[in-house]
Amino acid sequence: SLREGEQGSKAARARQRKEEEERERERRIGETRAKAGPSLREEELKRLSAALAPHELRLHEIAADGHCLYRSIAHQLAAGDEASALDFRHCRRLAAEYIRSHADDFLPFLLAEHEFSDGLLESYCSQVELSSEWGGQLEITAIAHASRRCIAVHSADAPLLLTGAEYEGNGPRLQLAYHRHYYGLGEHYNALVPAD
């Protein structure tokens, strides 16, 4: 009927108008980005890529969910065929257990960040093991010693950081990338894999 044809063409014109508005919006966003120059993330990635090139490494993207350090290490352990069933929970447990069993080595660092209390160490270890709180150098140190593996952390703005260098002969390094500006939320870890 004529009425249906009019309605169909009205809907088609509305869709076309909406598509044109969206294209115009995307064009304006692109112009704004081009004028703004590279983002902190883009600049950091460029410097990191240059630092990784001599090592023939590239990024392997890891989810940004609070478990990125542990997921990156689990990825590296599985890549070395150590037990592909390893996951981030195993790495969290490994770190917590090592910190608990070597309290004297870790307590001074915890006291630098936290008020002393009788349950400080256990509370911290429970958080490492059971939460999605991100990990850092203390946890890297614990996992390196617990797994008896060298962990290499590459970043755009610092020299290569080796933790557990005494374990170099126990298998390939666990290669991580540390980012300060990868996501708007802040720091992030990715795994590294051989460049193709």
DSSP string across 110-160: HHHHS---TTHHHHHHHHHHHS-PPP-HHHHHHHHHHHT--EEEEESSS--
151-155/174-183 β-pairing? parallel
Q: What's the confidence (pLDDT) of residue 113?
A: 87
Residue appearing with tokens 């991580």: 176
Which token pair is 33?
């980005």
Residue 188 annotated in active site: yes
User: Which of these is catalytic: 55, 60, 65, 114?
Assistant: 65
Q: What's the confidence (pLDDT) of residue 196?
A: 80
Residue 68 annotated in active site: yes
pTM of structure: 0.77
Residue 60 annotated in active site: no
pLDDT digits (tens, 9 = 90+) for 45-70: 999 999 999 999 999 999 888 899 99
Q: Which amino acid is at 186?
A: G
Which run of H or E residues covers position 36? helix 2-36
User: Which of these is catalytic: 67, 68, 75, 150?
Assistant: 68
DSSP 8-class letter at 63: -
pLDDT digits (tens, 9 = 90+) for 97-152: 999 999 999 999 999 988 888 899 999 999 999 999 999 999 999 999 999 999 99
**Mean pLDDT, rounded, of the chain:** 87
Q: What's the confidence (pLDDT) of residue 192?
A: 95
Burial of 145: CB neighbours in 10 Å, binned 0-12, 13-18, 19+: buried
